Structure 1
Amino acid sequence: MSTLPDGEPLAPVLAAAPVADGEFVEITDADVEQVVELWKTCELTRPWNDPYVDIAEARAGDGSTVLVARADGRVAATAMAGHDGHRGWLYYVAVAPELRSTGLGRAAVVAAEAWLVARGARKIQLMVRTGNADVLGFYGRLGYADQECTVLGRWIPSD
């Protein structure tokens, strides 16, 4: 069994990837509108982050993707994954509200983790807004923990 740098066993989340209603696959052009709609419904979008640009940029390179699962012919869950050459990152993990607590969120994380591990990620990170206790609890149950660091950012002015 793999271990963390401190010798703790790696959580066995990667070992069992449940597939709720559908398999996670890479986004297609036909999925984009439904994905953006899902992200808005799940309140993941912000005025300063254009979801269409985020999707296009994730699809543009080999180091990132958007994974989707469908239920009843519609996009039901997503996870954006990116590998920066050092660590893997998760973004836009979303599940249709009516399908929450079905295992689909866990399946989205596991699918994105598998995608990242296949590209060499040894550690996977994500950001959760501080006040989002429900989501912090969800990730805690999957073995994610506060990394005792502060995320800083700076916007680069555009022309």
Structure 2
Amino acid sequence: MQSPAPRPFRDDDISAIVALWDAAALTRPWNDPQADIALCARNPSSALFVAAEPAGEIVATVMCGFDGHRGWIYYLAVAPRHRGTGLGRRMVAHAEQWLAGLGAPKVELMVRDGNDAARAFYERIGYAVETVFVMSRWLTPRGAREA
């Protein structure tokens, strides 16, 4: 099976993107994926790429952004039947190339505690665990984020 090539998302992809994220357990009740996509679309230093089969089915995604200091990767998802084909690696490489084009010297990402499969994947493609703590504070009521 030949892996489809990454391309920028289109508005008509959104429902399929969110369905893939739900299936991959990437969404959480306090994160509105549609709002995340809308914010990404409005920000010129963010991008969302998808890979679609010839019939149009979205089988992989990766969102990325540059904060002026580091590049970030979010929402990497690959449909189960495409896992192990190199598509996830290609999606990450595409995001890295896009971020490098903006001047990002380094790429960072977060993996939820207990997601050993994701951590192992990223380690296989050259990512290393950093010795930092992620701290956060909600600026809006949890779950009440506006698009």
Taking structure 1 as the reference length, the TM-score comes to: 0.85
**Structure 2: unaligned runs, 5 residues or longer:** none
- Would you say the 8 A contact 2:63–2:73 is kept in 1? yes
Measure how far apart 1:99 and its partner are.
Answer: 1.1
AA in 1 matched with 2:43: G
Distance in 2 (alpha carbons) for counterparts of 1:141 and 1:99? 17
Q: Which residue matches 1:78?
A: 61
The whole-number CA distance in structure 1 between the counterparts of 2:57 and 2:98 is 22
* 2:19 aligned partner: 37
Aligned equivalent of 1:109, options 77, 92, 95: 92
Secondary structure of 2:73's counterpart equals strand
Match of 2:47 among 29, 54, 65: 65
Name the SS for the 1:89 alignment partner. strand
Runs of 5+ consecutive residues of structure 1 not aligned to the other structure: 1-19
Deviations 1:74-129 (A, max 9, x none): 11100000000010000000001121111111111011111101110110000001
Q: 2:15, 2:128 → 1: CA distance?
A: 33
Checking the alignment, whether the CA contact within 8 Å between 2:73 and 2:109 is kept in structure 1 is: yes
In structure 2, what is the Cα distance between the partners aligned to 1:96 and 1:156? Answer: 33
Identity of aligned residues (%): 46
SS at match of 1:54: helix
In 2, the alpha carbon distance for the partners of 1:56 and 1:83 equals 16
Cα distance between partner residues in 1 of 2:13 and 2:45: 20
Q: Residues of 2 paired with 1:56 and 1:88: CA distance? A: 19
Q: CA deviation at 1:147?
A: 1.1
Give 1:106-145 correspondences, 5 Å limit.
Answer: 106-145=89-128
**Cα separation, 2, equivalents of 1:65 and 1:143:** 22
Alignment of 1:40-55 (within 5 A): 40-55=22-37
Which segments of structure 1 move beyond 3 Å, counting only runs of 4 or more? none
Which residue does the alignment assign to 2:3? 21
Query: 1: CA distance between counterparts of 2:120 and 2:97?
Result: 21
